[in-house]
A and B are shown apart, each in its own frame.
Chain A
Amino acid sequence: MSQDEDILAVAREGFLDEARDMLRQFEQALLTMEQDPSDAEAVNSAFRAAHTVKGTAGLFGFDAVVRFTHEVESLLESMRSGELALSDEAMALLLQGRDQMERLLAEIGLDAQDPDVAQTSLTLGEALRALRERGAPALGQGLASAALSGGADPSRLVAESVPAAGGVWHISLRMGIDALRNGLDPLSFIRYLSTLGEVRGIHTVTDAIPDLAALDPESCFLGFEIRLATEADRATIEGVFEFMLDDCSLTVLAPDAASADYERLLDARAPDTQPEAREHLLAAWQSLAGPGAAPFIERREDVPERRANEPERRSGAKERRGGDETRFIRVRADKLDHLIDLIGELVIASSGAQMVARTEQSPTFGEAAQRISDLVQEARDGALGLRMMPIGETFSRFQRVVRDVSKQLEKDVELAISGGDTEMDKQMVETIADPLMHLVRNSLDHGLEGPAERLAAGKPAQGRICLNAYHESGSVVLEVSDDGRGLNRDRILAKAMERGLIEPDADLDDEQVYQLIFMPGFSTAEQVTNLSGRGVGMDVVKRNVEGLRGQIRVSSRPGQGATIQIRLPLTLAIIDGFLTSVGGVSYVLPLELVAECLEVPAECQSQPDRVAGHFDLRGEVLPYLDIGRFYRHSGTPAARRSLVLVRDGSTRVGLIVDRLHGEHQTVIKPLGQVFQDIKGLAGSTILGSGEVALILDVPALLDLATTRLSSAAGSRGQAARTVAGVHSEPR
């Protein structure tokens, strides 16, 4: 590709990314509108999203997108200005419109356009237009007669009921020459103003329009002086023009503005060098103020004390910008990854420097090395934070799915979302989205009953799916729960035996039975419907979760519902670690899991060959695992060993190690593909000395210990069972 094509390709990707974000926002706003038709902000949000897509598409020349999106935007605009009310028909068309926009975006960059898609643009576009035209009351009359006709337009009625005491604001607007080119038509903003109150008067400044020969029809030469009676505050009024600020000059004067303010405005709009323009403007203001108002007299003398008020009154585009909105910039993911890799290397190098300081026994160097280490830690947290994003965005995608699928299945289902602001590594969010979707569809399809069945069971007709997310002990927990039928233990067992997945005489507890649904080969053709199937399957869900070094658990109450809980590590890159050694090998534990460190209690030392057991901690009986023995490290263990108490879900387990080495910033390095299926190790890291240390995956290690010890014992004895991580109840 040539360099130009490269640049274009990158810009196009950026556009598509942003457009997809806008479509999400659009859909979310639509669904909100459906729930609450009076939510004006939702209509605005939908309009903004469509407007942004259209505008940016226009810059790139993606005409098909522009043409179709224009119809969507126009329909929303008439809703925004109160001319059209929301109806089922409008909602259906708008949602279809969103889908069509998605299709059009997908076609960008392709050589061949699908004629079906083009046809849909035409028919759907016409439907949108027809609805808009049908719904709008007769606009043939001008502004004055519309107010007289009364009853035809609800927004006008609202305007008339605004008491005059609300205040009349003066809005002076001069459009930038590129405004129309950039997709901003002052017409729509002025239409919208009438929803804030009553436009008492408007003067269109046409002075700047040249004659036809000199006119570039796509440039904008218009200005407006508007008198608006409203109870709204400045922020709301200025908010109407928020889109346009880069392409216009806006001044809003409050009802109690002093004449000095008007003088300043006059100077700005028509300086002394243009006497004719000043005349026109003054005359316009006079006619706007109405026959009873005092004439605008131009005063020549300066009034210094009034000028002091200037910063408050004036609101140019510059001051408005950089305000309360959070600013975002778009960053390439690979650049971010590279930065994080570098910081990882910095962490290791800093560790090495600290080691040298220790060996050289130089306190000054030690201090300097510590300072570097602290800064590196901050930089590390900052960089990792860049990759975090709230999972709520992913969760809200499911609203649409639940709405559509539940209608299709003729079930009444509500989706409740909580913990949407829980943050996760961006890559993990993207990987977990599909498995989550599958779980939601599974609940919709198999878990939840139809309304009749629910009522017969004494439940409310409306079923409920809850998506929940929270942080716990250094992990992110995601839960999908429903109040449907729950899992049928006997049926699962029977099916698993039928498929030869387990021995006929296997003795399994509830949790183990439920885990059978994740085994490959469990789902069958009859279960795989076209809604939740498509070759995804629960085994793929589990594999994806474990690929992220996570665990998946199921709990269920027959007849009442089921909860699937996914536990994932907080980050894949760098963690705060706690360094220990066992049998000459260094192991790192996630610091967040470390609750306490003690000397090994007497009862653990008593039997030399015990790998696991129990001990008493201030009256509480807790399980422990001797890592050295479990991992069969050869050689005699150190004389004085330590016990590290770690959190596992809602309980704690003791891990016996040889030595403790304290906190350690740990850069996680993958172990290599050949180790991808082993349990208990989350990766490796390089210490300052160059030695490779292993990172323990504590929940998986405890699971592994349970499995090995119980199969070794030949029965699920008390000791083996209690070493297992106890699965916390879903919140």
Chain B
Amino acid sequence: MIMSDSVIDVGGASGGWRLSGELTIQHAATQGEQLRQWIDAGMMSVDLSAVEACDSSGVQLLVAARRSVAARGQSLELRDASAPVRDVFGRFALTGLLSSDVVTREHP
């Protein structure tokens, strides 16, 4: 049962896969499922500009997603991270995992 107020949006304005809603433990299962589907569909870049909140669980999801993509010899780009994502990754000194495009876009 999908219980979340996180909107799962396929095909955002930039033409790629865009995660939105919250990347937190309450929604981790749903978001994780979504990421799995997209990776199976061949995703190599995910737009994080619409992520409203992020916690440790969210970080794990993204790292695991990168691992899954790396396992098939490719790499997953974590793109346009929103402020909450940047904050958490910054705290964990994992900013290096985020795409180096420093321009942040606030969630509209």
Q: Do any beta carbons of A and B sit within 8 angstroms of each other in the complex?
A: yes
Binding site for B on A (CB under 8 A): 138-143, 146, 180, 185-187, 190-191, 201-204, 206, 209-215, 217-218, 220-222, 224
**Closest 4 A/B residue pairs (Cβ):** A142-B90, A217-B28, A140-B83, A139-B87
Q: How far is the CB of B35 from chain A (nearest CB, A)?
A: 6
The complex places the Cα of A257 from the Cα of B63 at a distance, in Å, of 33
Asked if B83 contacts A143 (CB within 8 A), the reply is no
Asked if A218 contacts B29 (CB within 8 A), the reply is yes
The complex places the Cα of A150 from the Cα of B70 at a distance, in Å, of 38
Asked if B36 contacts A213 (CB within 8 A), the reply is yes
Asked if B32 contacts A180 (CB within 8 A), the reply is no
Interface of A is mostly: loop
For B63, the chain A residues whose CB sits under 8 A away are: 206, 209
> Would you list 7 pairs from A and B whose C-beta atoms are within 8 A, ordered by A residue?
A140-B104, A142-B89, A187-B55, A187-B91, A209-B63, A212-B67, A217-B32
Asked if B57 contacts A217 (CB within 8 A), the reply is yes
B94 within 8 A of A: yes
For A187, the chain B residues whose CB sits under 8 A away are: 55-56, 88, 91-92
Q: Which residue of B lies closest to A140 (CB)?
A: B83
B65 within 8 A of A: yes
Asked if B61 contacts A204 (CB within 8 A), the reply is no
Q: Which residue of A lies closest to B91 (CB)?
A: A190
- Of A140, A204, A215, the contact of B92 (CB 8 Å cutoff): A204
B7 within 8 A of A: no
Q: How far is the CB of A240 from chain B (nearest CB, A)?
A: 14
Asked if A191 contacts B91 (CB within 8 A), the reply is yes
A-B contact count (CB 8 A): 93
- Give me 5 other A-B pairs in contact (C-beta within 8 A), A186-B56, A211-B71, A212-B39 excluded: A139-B90, A190-B92, A212-B32, A215-B60, A224-B92
- Contacts A201-B93, A202-B92, A218-B57; is A212 near B87 (CB within 8 Å)? no
Binding site for A on B (CB under 8 A): 25, 28-29, 31-32, 35-36, 39, 55-57, 59-61, 63-65, 67-68, 71, 83-84, 86-95, 104
Asked if A213 contacts B68 (CB within 8 A), the reply is yes
Q: Which residue of B lies closest to A146 (CB)?
A: B90
Q: How far is the CB of A178 from chain B (nearest CB, A)?
A: 12
- Of B36, B89, B90, B92, the contact of A212 (CB 8 Å cutoff): B36
- Of B55, B67, B86, B88, the contact of A141 (CB 8 Å cutoff): B86
- Of A143, A146, A210, the contact of B93 (CB 8 Å cutoff): A143
Asked if A212 contacts B57 (CB within 8 A), the reply is no
The complex places the Cα of A141 from the Cα of B90 at a distance, in Å, of 8
- Of B60, B87, B88, the contact of A217 (CB 8 Å cutoff): B60
Asked if A202 contacts B83 (CB within 8 A), the reply is no
Asked if A143 contacts B67 (CB within 8 A), the reply is no
The complex places the Cα of A213 from the Cα of B95 at a distance, in Å, of 24
The complex places the Cα of A654 from the Cα of B92 at a distance, in Å, of 78
Q: How far is the CB of B45 from chain A (nearest CB, A)?
A: 16
Asked if A222 contacts B60 (CB within 8 A), the reply is yes
Asked if A212 contacts B68 (CB within 8 A), the reply is yes
Q: Which residue of B lies closest to A143 (CB)?
A: B90
For A203, the chain B residues whose CB sits under 8 A away are: 93
Asked if A209 contacts B29 (CB within 8 A), the reply is no
Q: Which residue of B lies closest to A208 (CB)?
A: B60
- Of A139, A190, A211, A217, the contact of B67 (CB 8 Å cutoff): A211
The complex places the Cα of A220 from the Cα of B28 at a distance, in Å, of 12
The complex places the Cα of A215 from the Cα of B63 at a distance, in Å, of 10
For A217, the chain B residues whose CB sits under 8 A away are: 25, 28-29, 31-32, 57, 60-61
- Of A138, A180, A211, the contact of B64 (CB 8 Å cutoff): A211
Asked if A211 contacts B68 (CB within 8 A), the reply is yes
Interface core residue of B59, B68, B87 (most chain A CB under 10 Å): B87
For A143, the chain B residues whose CB sits under 8 A away are: 90-91, 93
For A222, the chain B residues whose CB sits under 8 A away are: 56, 59-60
Q: How far is the CB of A134 from chain B (nearest CB, A)?
A: 14
The complex places the Cα of A222 from the Cα of B55 at a distance, in Å, of 12
Interface core residue of A209, A210, A217, A222 (most chain B CB under 10 Å): A217
The complex places the Cα of A146 from the Cα of B58 at a distance, in Å, of 22
Asked if A185 contacts B55 (CB within 8 A), the reply is yes
